[in-house]
Chain A
Amino acid sequence: MPDPMRIRATAQGDVVDVRVLMSHEMEGGQRRDAAGNLVPAHFIQTVTVTHGGKTVLSAEWGPAVSKNPYLQFKFTGGKKGDELTVTWVDNKGETRTDKAVIN
């Protein structure tokens, strides 16, 4: 099971600023190990953020996103106390979902 994400969501008026730090290797599939073998690619492909059953952001990522990816965006319509759900799925089918409360 991958490590949990760190999610911070702060509301200013009805605009919510969301910052997510995921814990993932984001192996690009181009690197070789000490023995010269290609390290297989392992990276997050899709990220979905939902609020109140509505998707507020969906992202598609390639291997060029940095290790332990960071994501920041803003949406309107959220308020303090609302719950936010972030889900990622990687190219090996592993997935992780974390929830955070807007404050």
Chain B
Amino acid sequence: MSENRRDFMKLTGVFGLLAAAGLLSTTEALAQQQGWNKAAFETKSLADTYKVLGGTPTESADISITAPDIAENGAVVPVGVTSKIPNTQAVYILVEKNPNMLAAGFNIPPGTAAEVATRIKMGQTSNVYAVVKANDKFYVASKEVKVTLGGCGG
């Protein structure tokens, strides 16, 4: 079981690199679903993503990103975001060099801590941006994550 999983991860890592190299097209007709911001997930540049999300963020030292400096496997990169900005409404995780930048968005209702963690795929070494929406303004922090070639270290 774990052997298979490892093989699969190797494969996804390789394919991830292919995808990032632009060999594979990203235009898949995706079924639109309620509550899912299709436009935001289809943007291909930081500026476009910011526009769809609703504003250009300002740098903030109150956002921290928990992610490895070096990710051995680009298919599984643990990323956590903590925002100390009061009234944080939403947290978005963006990967600059992925085919589509937006990886995940989290709506934070009152009472929920502005602290989320998940695992994302990265095609190659890239900056990871954490965009936080608070009081209807946008803030951002970034961190570079190096992805080991092949997406899977020895």
Measured CB to CB, the residues of A under 8 A from B are 15, 28-32, 38, 40-41, 45-46, 54-67, 69-77, 89, 91-93
Contact = CB atoms under 8 A, between A and B. Distances in A.
Q: Closest 5 interchain pairs by CB? A: A64-B103, A30-B19, A29-B28, A74-B113, A66-B119
Interface stretch (B33-41, B54-62, B129-137): B33-41
A45 B30 CA distance: 10
Interface in B52-87: 75-78, 80
Size class of B's contact patch?
35 or more
A60 B90 CA distance: 11
B99 interface: yes
Q: Is the interface of B mostly helix, strand, loop or mixed?
A: mixed
Contacts of A56: 109, 111-112
A89 B118 contact: no
Contact of B120 (A15, A64, A74, A77): A64
B19 A91 contact: no
Nearest to A61: B104
A70 B117 contact: yes
